[in-house]
Structure 1
Amino acid sequence: MEPIRETLKRVVNAPAFSERYNDMRKEVLENPGVQKFLEDHAEEIDKSTVDRGMHKLYEYIDQSHDCNKCPSLEGCINHLKGFEPNLVLERNTIGIAYTACKSKNAYDNKRRASSLIHSMYMPKEVMQATLSGFELDDSRMEAFRAVGNFLDQATGPDDLPDKGLFLYGKFGIGKSYLLSAVANELAEMNVKSVLVFVPEFMREMKQAIGDQTLQEKVDYVKKADVLMLDDIGAEAMSSWTRDEVLGTILHYRMAEKLPTFMTSNFSYTELQHHLTYSQRGEKEDLKAARVMERIRALTEPVKLDGRNRRN
């Protein structure tokens, strides 16, 4: 039987193998990335270093760079998905270090931004909203400009305008969508937002009395960096939810000057009328006026109009 060393020597010296190796070597050395690496380390690298590191150089050129060979992060062809190779020289040996590619960075940034938005009972599709996806026409321009002005003034979590917006108008015209788009824009500035669908939140607050989590949940909402109350006025309001839940949250945020956004089918005047009457039919003008005073202190009213985009 032929010794393994002799077998390897015979295979390596075979014309076909030698030709393939020379073709591979030529391809490697003509690669722009390899050429730049060799030029940058011209004083440290000699031919023997290149020969010893040929397998690493080939590993480098065989992968995607700047995502040029990958259709998506999921379809990344690199040895480490989402990471691209960079040639390095360590102790006169050519090696490869992997760093996150632009697709991986974009994905990680999106996940980080998503973690800054806490949604309570909001539809998942609404949470994907972007300002670029907000359809513009004359009836929606005022609201879009108001949102833009708020975002222009917001430079980070420690520098936010005191007042948010009260977006009101009929059903299905994009109020919740715009609210979520603002939250996503703020997340890019590392600003945390809590979005709350008010009718469901109020129902849960009644249940929270029994499981003794009421104070914890109210505290979480009222202390949010930016609070967004969606569809206020659609809930069946009781004196307790109006005064002890909504009133408590708004009073804290007014005192701390924390920006608050709201959406409603009602204008200020119509919402005050809604807050005046409890489920029992009790008329409580003074208490409703007190809540509305806080809403006016926290928000600027902006009417949103247009066609129903849910149909």
Structure 2
Amino acid sequence: MEPISKTLSNIRWKQPLGIPSLDVIRDNILHHRLVVEFCENHQDVTEEMLDRSLVKLDQAILEHKNCQVCTELQACPNLVKGHQGKLTMALSYIDIVHVPCAKWNQHQEQKRRENLIKSHYIPKDVLAGSFQQFVQDPQRFEAFRALMEFCLKVEPGSKDRKMKGIYLYGPLGVGKSYLLAATARKLSTRGISSLMVYTPDFFREVKESLQDHSLQQKLETLKKVPILILDDIGAESLSPWARDEVLGAILQYRISENLPTLFSSNYDYSMLEEHLSHSAKGGMETMKAKRIMERIIHYTDAYFVSGINRRMQQNEGGDVYEY
């Protein structure tokens, strides 16, 4: 058996040189809450097994501490990125197994959705959006404040704490999509998953899904994602079937499960209702459009976003304009 002094020397580098002593290091490890709870749940653990497993115990404690202060998956310092070491019994010592953390699971689920929903694609400069980089000018402050409050308070799926979604509307290029992408990033720091889709492309994709039989799977994804972001609704060419059986079904499910939906549009509520009422044959289906709008108006708060067209300024000037 390896001498305890040699085992402890393997973890001594983690402490300030000369302080504390090996006995103190050992004592700190054995009295840590993780180790105490493990021993309580495994009555056959002996002191000899603990001494033989100090390096593993120390690793598990360190990774637990890392996870307590983790802010994003990419910054994970653990031995296996996105995983935390959990203590487990081996034959004659205590080992650790690496279990995926919530952020890793969220990342994998996001990848699954992105592989399934091709219209999730939003320009990289928009997806890189953050509230820290957003210019809080008067024309956009109310929307900014509302989205920040949403990020802090929303509890998707909670039956006790219901919260409306948000509907941003206004001219082209004023930062609506950027704000929603920043919202998605902020929500991810709370471990809340979201999916942002470019609505015109999504409804084109829906037609193709009828051929490859993936429509139902895609609809289930949009129905059940904790936060759904429909970017640029109203810019799509929408058939009555897509309006009623796709958009209507998605919104109705999300309302019943208290899963908020966020929107951006160039249209206000009344203009969007008119857009949705047009039928493929050139007629008007006012009542069907009203049914969809009932699921939007009563379950979102609307904010007008105005200001200069930052996208146009960026294109004309050649420089990236701060949003």
Q: Shared topology, TM-score over 0.5?
A: yes
Residue 204 (structure 1) shift: 0.6
The equivalent of 1:263 in structure 2 is 264
1:33 and 2:16 aligned: yes
Compute the TM-score of the two structures, normalised by the length of structure 1: 0.66
When the two chains are superposed, the root-mean-square deviation of aligned CA atoms in Å is: 3.3
1:239–1:185 CA distance, 2 compared to 1 (3 A):
same
Q: 5 Å matches for 1:70-109?
A: 103-105=75-77, 108=82
Secondary structure of 1:138's aligned partner: coil
1:244–1:37 CA distance, 2 compared to 1 (3 A):
same
Compute the TM-score of the two structures, normalised by the length of structure 2: 0.64
Q: 5 Å matches for 1:130-279?
A: 130-154=130-154, 158=158, 161-279=162-280
Asked if the contact 1:167–1:263 (Cα under 8 Å) also holds between the matched residues in 2, the reply is yes
Residue 209 (structure 1) shift: 0.9
Secondary structure of 1:35's aligned partner: coil
Secondary structure of 1:249's aligned partner: helix
Structure 2 Cα separation of the partners of residues 213 and 242 of structure 1: 18
1:36–1:132 CA distance, 2 compared to 1 (3 A):
same
Residue 40 (structure 1) shift: 6.1
Residue 268 (structure 1) shift: 0.4
Structure 2 Cα separation of the partners of residues 187 and 252 of structure 1: 23
Asked if the contact 1:198–1:235 (Cα under 8 Å) also holds between the matched residues in 2, the reply is yes
Secondary structure of 2:18's aligned partner: helix
1:303 and 2:304 aligned: yes
Residue 267 (structure 1) shift: 0.4
Residue 115 (structure 1) shift: 4.7
Residue 38 (structure 1) shift: 4.0
**Please, which runs of 5 or more residues in structure 1 have no aligned partner?**
1-31, 45-89
Residue 148 (structure 1) shift: 2.0
Structure 1 Cα separation of the partners of residues 127 and 222 of structure 2: 18
Query: Quick one: which amino acid aligns to residue 238 of structure 1?
Result: S
Secondary structure of 2:311's aligned partner: coil
The equivalent of 1:13 in structure 2 is none
Asked if the contact 1:114–1:187 (Cα under 8 Å) also holds between the matched residues in 2, the reply is no
1:177–1:201 CA distance, 2 compared to 1 (3 A):
same
The equivalent of 1:12 in structure 2 is none
The equivalent of 1:292 in structure 2 is 293
Secondary structure of 1:236's aligned partner: coil
1:125 and 2:125 aligned: yes
**Please, which runs of 5 or more residues in structure 2 have no aligned partner?**
1-14, 28-50, 83-100, 115-119, 313-323
Structure 1 Cα separation of the partners of residues 231 and 298 of structure 2: 18
Deviations 1:125-159 (A, max 9, x none): 32222111221111110101111221232257747
Residue 300 (structure 1) shift: 1.0
The worse-fitting range, judged by mean Cα deviation, of 100-109 and 180-189 is 100-109
Secondary structure of 2:262's aligned partner: strand
Secondary structure of 1:36's aligned partner: coil
Residue 225 (structure 1) shift: 1.2
Which structure would you say has the larger Rg? 1
Structure 2 Cα separation of the partners of residues 154 and 104 of structure 1: 25
The equivalent of 2:8 in structure 1 is none
Asked if the contact 2:102–2:191 (Cα under 8 Å) also holds between the matched residues in 1, the reply is no
Structure 1 Cα separation of the partners of residues 152 and 103 of structure 2: 23
Structure 2 Cα separation of the partners of residues 105 and 94 of structure 1: 17
Deviations 1:2-30 (A, max 9, x none): xxxxxxxxxxxxxxxxxxxxxxxxxxxxx
Asked if the contact 1:163–1:259 (Cα under 8 Å) also holds between the matched residues in 2, the reply is yes
Query: Quick one: which amino acid aligns to residue 134 of structure 2?
Result: F
1:301–1:271 CA distance, 2 compared to 1 (3 A):
same
Structure 1 Cα separation of the partners of residues 224 and 189 of structure 2: 20
Aligned length: 237
Asked if the contact 1:156–1:190 (Cα under 8 Å) also holds between the matched residues in 2, the reply is no
Asked if the contact 2:157–2:259 (Cα under 8 Å) also holds between the matched residues in 1, the reply is no
Work out the percentage of aligned pairs sharing the same amino acid.
38
